[in-house]
Amino acid sequence: MRLRNFSVTNYRSFKDSQKIEFSDGPKNVTAIYGPNGAGKTNLFKAMMFYRDFIRMSTRFEGQVMRYEDFLLSTSAGKNPTCFEAEMENDDKVYRYGFSLLLGAVKDEYLKVRNKKDSSFETVFRRNSMNKEDRYAEKGFSNDLLRRTRPDALVLTKAWEDNNKYAKDVFDWLNNFNLISGEQLTALTAKKTMEDSAFKQKVLELLRSADMSIQDLVVSTVELPEKFYKDLPFTEEFKANMDRKSYEVSTLHVIHDENGVVSGVKKFDLAAHESTGTKRFFDMAYPLLDTIENGKILYIDEFENNLHPVECKLLAKLFEDQNNSKKAQLIVNTHCTQLQNQLGKENIRFVSKNHNEESKIETAPNYIRNDDVSIERKYNKGLLGATPNVRL
């Protein structure tokens, strides 16, 4: 599974249509660079909205769809907000897009082709479903359109009807994960406790980053009943919540005065380990799960609390020799040390023009694919997408 490209129009800092193509080479990583405030996180949020709105659009009845159009223009609120992605799933490529305006779906469409073909076949187009019957044989009939609310997606409704095309798209979406600064300790801890093979992979990852952790011990703590009773959720929702908290300990060796190992000491991960070590542990589950199952992972602020050498290590995990299922990693980052390792074809830039509109660009044509000095040129401002700092 791969994300081939993504387009966004009139969303937050993106005014005109902007398209990002993702690399498909042996590195399997696309690194996105740009100054603070350029729009990298807005691109991340656009993809998250795209994924989550498709999966949940039929649940928004009576609620406001939470998206923001470009506000720094006299045309604000007048033009549709649009999203489109090309998704590779086994032997098929799907192109699905939709547009929103004034709380309603203005249009949507789904196209498909075989990977070996060059042209797409239209599975359905929302604005034509009430005029044409040719989509009905694929399960996108006029009746389906009538049963879809104006603020919901036909594709979501089709998935509820077990439509095979919608199911393919949803299967892909379920393998597209986006993570930002949220705590992921529980995910890694739970998997570490349940799966000894996974635990060994986490330990190997920590050791490869020069962290002197000999072993991991994970235990569970049942949270008090009063904690759940006071939560502002429905009883049905609270009944399905995991009522366990995970405590993670790391084991370090103790040496005597002669430097001889004399025992081990247990440290609490949260209290005694560095912020970088904790983040490394937290990211272990999404990274290893992505590689093991051939998924797509998009990380915002990739380098937070990580040394540049550790960033390079994590990116190297996705190279073909370590990544038989060609899992895909996308990162927003300021870690320029990755640039020479990844090469021109795996780098994208986001910057703003004088109207504060975000633009997506590739490396300039004069940069060779085998250039080993991309980082130096970027830091000198020769490639653009750097902050215009005045001292």
Q: What is the DSSP string of 173-240?
A: HTTEEEE-S---HHHHHHHHHH-HHHHHHHHHHHHHTT----EEEEEEEEPPHHHHHTSSS-HHHHHT
Residue 55 has pLDDT above 70, yes or no: yes
Dihedral over Cα of 223, 224, 229, 235: its sign: positive
Side chain identity at 5, as an amino acid letter? N
Return the number of other C-beta atoms located less than 10 Å from residue 373's C-beta. 13
pLDDT for the residue numbered 277: 93
Give the model confidence (pLDDT) of 83-119 as tens digits.
Answer: 999 999 889 999 999 999 988 999 999 999 999 998 9
Q: Which stretch of 71-80, 188-197, 236-245 has the lowest confidence by average pLDDT?
A: 236-245
Residue 162 has pLDDT above 90, yes or no: yes
Question: 138 phi and psi, to 5 degrees?
Answer: -95, 5
Q: Could you tell me if 254 and 264 are in contact, meaning their C-beta atoms sit under 8 angstroms apart?
A: yes
Q: What is the mean pLDDT of the chain?
A: 91
| Selection from 230, 228, 260, 261 nearest residue 245 by Cα | 228
Tell me the C-alpha distance between 191 and 182, whole Å.
Answer: 18
What is the residue-wise DSSP string for 97-130? EEEEETTEEEEEEEEEEETT-SS-EEEEEGGGTT
Residue 126 has pLDDT above 80, yes or no: yes
Q: Could you tell me if 21 and 336 are in contact, meaning their C-beta atoms sit under 8 angstroms apart?
A: no
The structural domains of the chain, ordered by start, are: 1-175+294-391 (3.40.50), 183-289 (no CATH)
Residue 359 has pLDDT above 90, yes or no: yes
pLDDT for the residue numbered 370: 77
Q: What percent of the chain has pLDDT over 90?
A: 75
Give the model confidence (pLDDT) of 23-46 as tens digits.
Answer: 889 999 999 999 999 999 999 999
Side chain identity at 112, as an amino acid letter? V
Give the model confidence (pLDDT) of 178-214 as tens digits.
Answer: 998 777 888 999 999 999 999 999 999 999 998 889 9
Per-residue tokens: 391: 């001292």
Phi-psi region of 203 (alpha: psi -120 to 50; beta: other; left: phi over 0): alpha
Query: Which is more confident, 231 or 194?
Result: 194
Residue 238 has pLDDT above 80, yes or no: no
Q: Could you tell me if 156 and 68 are in contact, meaning their C-beta atoms sit under 8 angstroms apart?
A: no
Give the model confidence (pLDDT) of 302-354 as tens digits.
Answer: 999 999 999 999 999 999 999 999 999 999 999 999 999 999 999 999 999 99
pLDDT for the residue numbered 85: 98
Q: Enter the pTM of the model.
A: 0.92
